[in-house]
Structure 1
Amino acid sequence: MKPSLAAKLLQVLSPWCNAPAWHIAFSGGLDSTVLLHLLANLANTESLPPLRAIHVHHGLQAAADAWPAHCQSTCDSLGVPLRVMHVQVQPGASLERAARDARYQVFTEVTGTGEVLLTGQHRDDQAETLLFRLLRGAGVRGLAAMPLQRPLAAGCLVRPLLDVSRAELEAYAEAHQLKWIEDPSNADSRFSRNYLRHRVLPVLTERWPQTTASLARTAEHLSEAQDLLDELAQMDLRAANQFSPFSWLHLPSLALAPLRELTDARQRNALRHWLTPLTRLPDSDHWASWHSLRDAKDDAQPLWRLADGDLHRCGERIWWLPSTWSDFSDASVSWPDPQNPLELPGNGQVQLTGRVPGGPLTIRYRQGGEILAVPGRGRRDLKRLLNESGLPGCVRGRLPLLYQGEQLLGAPSLAGLWPAPSDEWQLHWMPQTCDQGLS
């Protein structure tokens, strides 16, 4: 006997039954209305986490102004509390993407530690996603389409209806006499997904009735293939994740030599895996920049600009610098109270320990030609000291220098590669991304 929709839903959600709360993304459309109704009824007979509905009002069309009231009425009848969240959709090339970004920003904000956000995407949505991404030339990760679950803030996003067809949802809604919102924009074929839904998939289904089920199954196969690629990437990255003497920077970095031993395809796979949590990935045409960075001469300092930061190469190591590092200002900063730490704009903080030097103190940054007194070695050119230390070039301009008037008193010692400038005091630097500083 075929299990009921409620039984299927309960089985899919069983791993999250001990979550502190379940949030339902409730647009008021067919999918989320059926999901909310199923969960509210299950809560009467099963031990479920507290249910809460979230309606995001995008303000993109006049008809949407009536939707919060409809959603409130539905939630009241089911005994589920509702939060209506208003968002401002940023204009851009893709209105669909901008609305999605605004919506998921809300979902991130409301999902607490260990909590679950439930959305109503179903099998037909999965088929549309696969076809849409296929036409855009996506790789395996993109063609794996929507996963059943993924991390969201400190919790998890779950799509429990991915194995349920739209026809099943319609049958359930009609059987329970549910009312839902029909978004007028869903009929507008100017939007790519609507074009696929109304103009392409019906033609394919007429010839191949199992089209949506087959496409969804293909997405599952590709998801498994992506899992295998991720395992291979983790194996390949173990050697490249070898110890860095500059771990105190807390910047992601990889040794280049182990990557060079891999084929080009495995290099790209490893880097995609490594970069995925850091930035939006480049398309295929932009991977030539990786080859330029990898093959540059040893004394070069090439960089690869990506959507959310830059990948730098310094010697035989590559470093990820997030775009937030661009907020750094190299203007001098006076230190009126050196007994307390000094915040540096976009560059963490510095602190003096020991006997604090007298006189007005300032923090400045390299201009070139600085000479530093090094105990046991006399006066040394700072540039040469930095070259000896191997400090990544992309960080050297951020090294704070302590001045007394126009006199350079010292710089933070680099991991013991040169001694502290004085036995009486030490300058400690804690970069903005560090949990531990450098003295």
Structure 2
Amino acid sequence: MREESSLQPMIDDALAETPPGRRVWVALSGGLDSSLLLTLAARAVHRHPRSLYALHVDHGLQEASCEFVRHCHRLCDRLGVPLFIERVCVDMTTGRGLEAAAREARYDAFAARLDAGDTLWLAQHRRDQAETWLLAALRGSGVRGLAAMPAVREWAGLCLVRPLRDLPRARLERAAEALGLCWVEDPSNADEALDRNFLRRRVLPLLESRWPRVEASLGRSATLAGEADALLDELAGQDLRACGGEPGRLSLPALCALSAPRRRLLIRYACQCLGVPTPPAARLATLDEQLNARRDAQVQVAWPGGEARCWREALYLQCPVPGLPAGWQVEWDGRSALDTPQGRLKVRLDGGPCREEGGYRLRPRQGGETLRLAGRGRRDLKRLLQEAGLPPWRRQALLVVWDGEAVAAVLDPGRAGVLIAAEGYSAGRASPRD
């Protein structure tokens, strides 16, 4: 059987498993693997109609990137597949290295271009899986890292699928040659200063000389690690429910009743549920040590992109909310999404006389504010926040919406929404168009 004929049913089946009406994208680098995947996908849509698109991310890191773009245009023109080019800037100031920075820029481009619910096909194969497992092991990763690249996973509202993951590279080469495909070789693949290239060119060939089935063996290890990771997620989900069910607010007594490994697992799981970066091992150990501190102690542990605080028998996990510059205030029409130094708030506020007078005014909470509530009359904001059980650090970050000389609402950047609306005002989400 010809190689492309043996692969086509596999791609047909993968496409058929995509729900009708969902858009399918192929991440097209211009190399052999992604060029082959797009070609087979373009054939498959004739049997299983789906909206198919290609996305090329231009990192702009080498002169050859222009040739990658030209090749992608030629291939997509021939296949009749719409092509989108995303040009990114790779941030090399993070200290994590070129490969990690390029990967982050690439995934940011995926998230920016695709819509929630879309499916993105990635062309990694069995050797990529083996390399990823080795890199994770060398970093001392846990079970999730050793699971390497799952065949299917949800990420940022998208469904990531790797239809070629379990296939050897040699089989893909034979299929591409049988189809008469052209592709572009990335010159950077020869740079052994990059960790993945060093593994690919030096380490894996040496391992294969002793253990010929090393790729398949490492792939099986990754699959088993993925199963173990799924079971740990189930356990963490049970513990989350026992700790109150809110990933951003975990009951301290219930949390401390767990064993140390389960506490750490639950904290990592809760951070993932919230979209907060998980704490590095050292910071997680520090946090775990402080969970048994006196309940009146002001426990706060921070790490890049996240922080944990203890207050009133609960552990709070969140992204840090930056403070506001002195004297900051802004005018707002009440309809548009609102850009603030603390992030973008997609809220809407209707009501009050501001419609005739031009708009609302926002500024940080100063203290002493009052507002009128339906059925309760005028109330002091400080007392309302105490009644709501709002933690002190969130009270300090609130934004007060003024309609002339009256408080119309209070916004909570930590929850990206309206915390309190005064009598005569109604709150909701800003229009997606804004």
2:42 partner SS = helix
Between the aligned partners of 1:128 and 1:34, the Cα distance in structure 2 is 21
Read off the aligned partner of 2:308 and give its amino acid letter.
L
Q: Match for residue 232 of structure 1?
A: 235
* C-alpha RMSD over aligned residues: 3.8
Read off the aligned partner of 1:15 and give its amino acid letter.
E
Q: Is the 8 A contact 2:121 2:160 kept in 1?
A: yes
Q: What does residue range 3-22 of structure 1 map to in structure 2 within 5 Å?
A: 4-22=6-24
Q: Match for residue 156 of structure 1?
A: 159
Q: Percent of pairs identical after alignment?
A: 38
Between the aligned partners of 1:288 and 1:171, the Cα distance in structure 2 is 50
Aligned pair in 2 of structure 1 residues 301, 207: CA closer, same or farther (>3 Å)?
same
Say whether residues 1:41 and 2:43 are aligned partners.
yes
Q: Match for residue 312 of structure 2?
A: 315
Between the aligned partners of 2:31 and 2:140, the Cα distance in structure 1 is 30
Read off the aligned partner of 2:101 and give its amino acid letter.
A
Between the aligned partners of 2:231 and 2:332, the Cα distance in structure 1 is 57
1:4 partner SS = helix
Read off the aligned partner of 1:397 and give its amino acid letter.
Q
Say whether residues 1:222 and 2:225 are aligned partners.
yes
| Alpha-carbon offset, residue 79 of structure 1 | 2.1
Between the aligned partners of 2:162 and 2:332, the Cα distance in structure 1 is 55
Q: Is the 8 A contact 2:59 2:89 kept in 1?
A: yes
Between the aligned partners of 1:259 and 1:39, the Cα distance in structure 2 is 48
Larger Rg computed on CA atoms: 1
Give CA deviations for 1:6-57 in whole Å, capped at 9, x if unaligned. 112222343215143211111110110110121122234x123122111221
Q: Match for residue 74 of structure 2?
A: 73
Say whether residues 1:393 and 2:392 are aligned partners.
yes
Q: Is the 8 A contact 1:124 1:166 kept in 2?
A: yes
Aligned pair in 2 of structure 1 residues 167, 145: CA closer, same or farther (>3 Å)?
same
Between the aligned partners of 1:295 and 1:121, the Cα distance in structure 2 is 45
1:62 partner SS = coil
| Alpha-carbon offset, residue 296 of structure 1 | 2.0
Q: Is the 8 A contact 1:126 1:216 kept in 2?
A: yes
Between the aligned partners of 2:74 and 2:399, the Cα distance in structure 1 is 60
2:204 partner SS = helix
Q: Is the 8 A contact 1:13 1:160 kept in 2?
A: no
1:83 partner SS = strand
> How high is the TM-score relative to the length of structure 1?
0.79
| Alpha-carbon offset, residue 263 of structure 1 | 0.2
Number of matched pairs: 399
Aligned pair in 2 of structure 1 residues 70, 354: CA closer, same or farther (>3 Å)?
closer
| Alpha-carbon offset, residue 355 of structure 1 | 12
Aligned pair in 2 of structure 1 residues 298, 353: CA closer, same or farther (>3 Å)?
farther
List runs of 5+ in structure 1 lacking aligned partners: 244-250, 373-380, 404-408, 410-424
Say whether residues 1:261 and 2:252 are aligned partners.
no
Counterpart selection for 1:142 from 145, 148, 159: 145
Read off the aligned partner of 2:311 and give its amino acid letter.
C
Between the aligned partners of 2:172 and 2:26, the Cα distance in structure 1 is 16
Q: Match for residue 295 of structure 2?
A: 298
Q: Is the 8 A contact 1:17 1:48 kept in 2?
A: no
Between the aligned partners of 2:34 and 2:382, the Cα distance in structure 1 is 62
Q: Is the 8 A contact 2:31 2:185 kept in 1?
A: yes
Q: Is the 8 A contact 1:87 1:102 kept in 2?
A: yes
Between the aligned partners of 1:345 and 1:402, the Cα distance in structure 2 is 13
| Alpha-carbon offset, residue 387 of structure 1 | 7.0
Read off the aligned partner of 1:267 and give its amino acid letter.
R
Q: Is the 8 A contact 1:332 1:365 kept in 2?
A: no
> How high is the TM-score relative to the length of structure 2?
0.80
Q: Is the 8 A contact 1:330 1:398 kept in 2?
A: no
Aligned pair in 2 of structure 1 residues 217, 350: CA closer, same or farther (>3 Å)?
closer
Between the aligned partners of 2:364 and 2:353, the Cα distance in structure 1 is 21
Q: Is the 8 A contact 2:278 2:306 kept in 1?
A: no
Q: Match for residue 431 of structure 1?
A: 412
Q: Match for residue 413 of structure 1?
A: none
Q: Match for residue 169 of structure 1?
A: 172
Read off the aligned partner of 1:37 and give its amino acid letter.
T
Q: Is the 8 A contact 1:310 1:322 kept in 2?
A: yes
1:438 partner SS = strand
1:286 partner SS = helix
